[in-house]
A = this chain, B = another copy of it.
Amino acid sequence: MPADVISFARGAPSADILPRELVREAAARALESDWERALSYGTGRGHPGLCEWLAEFHGVDTSQVMIANGSLEAGVLLFERLVEPGDRVIVESPSYDRTLLLLHRLGAELTAVPLDADGINLSYLEETLELGPAPKFAHIIPTFHNPAGCTLSDEKRHRVLELAADNDLKIFEDDPYAEVYFEGHEPLPTMLSMDDAGRVIYASSFSKTVSPGVRVGYLVGPADDIAALAKRANENYISPNMLAESIVYELCVSGGLAENIDMVRHSLRERRDALVEALGELIPEAEFVVPGGGYFLWLDLADDVDSKELLAPAKDEGVAFVPGADFMLEGGASSLRLSFASVPAERVPEGVERLARALDRVRTAAAA
């Protein structure tokens, strides 16, 4: 087993693309100009300057924004508000494993709707809404999906909102990757921006655009929902991290955020390109949607291989991934998730070679 595991498992940026200089400079400026807010208790909504910046960014009123210690914690607050044991919730298949865990923990009855290359399968979603009890909400990751790598098309975003209107359905639009696009154009409009009936609660984060360690995520939604969630946040932790939010705010207003996003897009596009090229050469039988941004590529192997049986030989070869079944209520056996955020581009071909060797070993063993 090689000492240097190449890990496509972790949905986190490698250290070489963490913006240490930008954050150091922003911290110095924030603690010069904004020290009183950075060091004091805030409200459950978080840093007022950053709330205003986010409101402007999303074209909403400040009363519709709250910041939390990462968007996952914001999701927990929302789920605890909306979900009682036995409540039905629609999730995508595959979906983010931590979301599935949290909803299971609350006793939700999950209905999984499969994804197409352009996002959630609409006829399946329609059928799901026609049958069975009304769901509390649908959890949708519209852009550069984790784990599937696909993006919900503009047309489908509109259609999802129409279905939501027809069925009085709430949408939780979980969108942390939207800004990490590779193709040079603006991301697709959010469902939040298309919503005029208060049906969408939107979550995003600075984990991918600044860094995960700052733990700054946020929600945008109807003002009354946000007020109730901010009150609950205040009961639980008084205020989210004001120091980190002050530093992130400084990055937002100084242009450091935009500079960093450019760097992240460039680096991750190189990694994605290297991964797509190596997979095409070395594992040509596998199928995938080429992700237009984000962190993840979802690899469908041929049906003869169970990705959980691939784990041990992959470990022997010195490469890591997450089996597809971890992201599904059922199925996913012949799929796996590869994170290209965690592997520098020059290491990607070697990582895919190792994966291909592990695959050969599984197939050779099965043939024997």
Chain A residues with a Cβ under 8 A of chain B: 12, 15, 18-20, 23-24, 27-28, 31-32, 35-42, 69-70, 72-73, 76, 98, 101-102, 105, 211-215, 235-244, 246-247
Contacts and interface: CB of A to CB of B under 8 A. Distances in A.
B20 A237 contact: no
Nearest to A215: B241
Nearest to A13: B40
A243 B72 CA distance: 17
A31 B244 CA distance: 13
Contact of A41 (B32, B38, B39, B212): B212
A40 B18 contact: yes
A246 B244 CA distance: 11
Given A213-B243, A243-B214, A31 B41 contact: no
24 contacts: A12-B41, A15-B40, A18-B35, A18-B39, A18-B40, A20-B31, A20-B39, A23-B31, A23-B38, A28-B28, A37-B213, A39-B212, A41-B212, A69-B69, A72-B237, A72-B238, A98-B235, A101-B235, A212-B238, A212-B242, A213-B241, A214-B241, A215-B240, A241-B244
A35 B32 CA distance: 20
Given A24-B28, A32-B24, A39-B23, A213 B242 contact: yes
A28 B238 CA distance: 27
Contact of A236 (B12, B15, B76, B211): B76
Contacts of A35: 18, 20, 23-24
Nearest to A40: B213
Given A39-B212, A41-B212, 11 more contacts: A20-B39, A23-B31, A39-B213, A39-B214, A42-B213, A69-B69, A69-B215, A73-B236, A76-B236, A215-B237, A241-B241
A242 B24 CA distance: 14
Nearest to A35: B20
A interface, by DSSP: helix, strand, loop or mixed?
A: helix
Nearest to A237: B73
Contacts of A105: 235
Given A24-B31, A28-B24, A105-B235, A40 B240 contact: no
A114 to B, nearest CB: 26
Contacts of A242: 212-215
A31 B175 CA distance: 28
Nearest to A18: B39
A287 B289 CA distance: 73
B243 A41 contact: no
Nearest to A239: B215
Contacts of A38: 23, 213
Contact of A211 (B40, B239, B240): B40
Contacts of A19: 39
Nearest to A212: B41
A278 to B, nearest CB: 26
A94 B214 CA distance: 37
Nearest to A47: B213
A364 to B, nearest CB: 37
Contacts of A241: 69, 213-215, 241, 243-244
A105 B232 CA distance: 11
Contacts of A18: 35-36, 39-40
A228 to B, nearest CB: 14
Contacts of A247: 243
Contacts of A15: 36, 40
